[in-house]
A and B are shown apart, each in its own frame.
Chain A
């Protein structure tokens, strides 16, 4: 970790000095052990703030949208999911490749703080990497675990921990890419009867407070103006109730169908603990079954299943 942190700081400093990037997006250590929030570095002298550890979860791709109007290139450190987010934004025409400089970092997977808390408590927690895995110390004691025991669920099923687009790649070990069934949970829900499935989502979505954290953190939600922010016409009023919450989530997931890169940020950002990745997986499964195998965000020029006309597309209205 420290080796990668040092390398990040050095490269950011060099690239800013060489004029290859005017600013850099990365992560810094936050106020607590479980936080490594995004940071924008604007001068070579600030690169010491950059930090790489197992909490650099936030997807940085989205920030590039607000950099578009700024002068010069923006450097960005990208994990596998950040890189797919970049491809998403490039494919959607939301950012300019010539204004970015991408430094890839092979991703070992990130930690779910709640999993650590359940093992060693919260407060004074230290996590050190050992040859076998991680050594956790907290108020409830010490534990030695493999990273996967405390990794975020989204990282356990990550199919591309290695960045898929970059200008240069830092040396490091990525986790093994997931090759299992990405739709296991979607299938489990499909197997429920329609009433049971409705009840399941009714219970989950009735908790939604419509804070829009899921939308605002999503690299596929890159519209300049969102339909849910419009008041004329007012497509959806502000009342939180099951019907409105369902409409919100369904429209959002249909809108990112075939474009979702499965970075899982929606689920991580949701304060109410709604299992949004299951909705994403169901939509992605349908796209794959209807329009052939497709993974979004692997190529900046990818042909989008729902954005490309093909005379052989299934036509269930026949």
Chain B
């Protein structure tokens, strides 16, 4: 385990060859922004928008086209991109990216823009000292102050950050820079203590046991209608979710030239999966709200063997009418047991 003084962080950021994202104050909370040599990483808990937007931008050009006489010329949008370093993401957001990897980077079809960016991304996870009241990561088997498989895990000991590499490239980077010293035994035990104590600060629990099996049996349960009544069908929960990954393909063209791009889409929207000809397989709020919960708690486990929720609590915090997935799970288990 290595240590670096926090005052040396600008030296670290400057030494990294690529674009470095750090948490900064933004709006009424925090967000990730490229380090510009000036800004200092904020002491934050959870950013409002998760770092998924760095790897899977809300809007992304795919290619442009233009008429050349009788022909159409097509130019791919993405050129070579510089490596990405995300400094200070939390273990839940690291897990969120691992889950996006399952969707975009596995199986026969790779998502080219995502994969290309992800292959070149280095994740520097900062353990939480204390969860927010809305955090429930431990319910999904996560640890608030340790992310298995992260390039780096870091712990904030006040004056210094302790760093432990978790991958070969993490070790290579740590060994390759002369900014670090060996951590003392005392510091290592402090980090371990922080890690153990952080777990105790997560008080909110979601009842995950048997939820997938229960939901599989209750696709038409009247509970869906009841739960959906309160929802306003905005997209805040989905856009702020670290694992939601739906997008729409759109294009614009003016005077013989245009572009094809993708942008985030939300299953809460009335035109989501609306088909040519006007058919919508999810015609009302009931089907749309059901889809969001089932995607996290049933479809993701069925398709990938893992829950599609990491317990970051952003949806609980930001829903205008306080829809609460942990309450939903408790309610669902309750009615399904009857």
Contact = CB atoms under 8 A, between A and B. Distances in A.
Contacts of B324: 30-31
A96 interface: no
Interface residues of B, number: 43
Contact of A37 (B234, B248, B321): B321
Given A40-B229, A58-B320, A238-B263, A213 B234 contact: yes
B230 A38 contact: yes
Contact of B271 (A32, A123, A231): A231
Contacts, number: 105
Contact of B252 (A66, A122, A237, A240): A237
Contacts of A239: 59, 250, 252, 261, 263
Interface stretch (A4-12, A246-254, A266-274, A301-309): A266-274
Interface in B224-280: 229-230, 232-236, 238-240, 248, 250, 252, 261, 263-266, 269-271, 274
A85 to B, nearest CB: 13
Contacts of B230: 37-40
Nearest to B45: A122
A129 B257 CA distance: 64
Interface stretch (A141-149, A185-193, A204-212, A255-263): A204-212
Contact of B134 (A32, A212, A240): A32
Given A211-B266, A216-B233, A240 B322 contact: no
Binding site of B, secondary structure by majority: helix, strand, loop or mixed? loop
Nearest to B130: A123
B106 interface: no
Which 3 A-B pairs rank lowest in CB-CB distance, beginning with the nearest? Answer: A273-B27, A273-B28, A269-B320
Interface of B: 26-29, 48-49, 58-59, 132-134, 204, 229-230, 232-236, 238-240, 248, 250, 252, 261, 263-266, 269-271, 274, 316, 318, 320-324, 326-327
Interface of A: 30-32, 35, 37-40, 58, 62-63, 66, 114, 122-123, 207, 209-213, 215-217, 229-231, 234, 237-241, 265, 268-269, 271-274
15 contacts: A30-B324, A31-B327, A114-B28, A209-B240, A210-B235, A211-B240, A212-B234, A212-B269, A217-B234, A237-B250, A239-B250, A240-B264, A268-B320, A271-B318, A272-B28
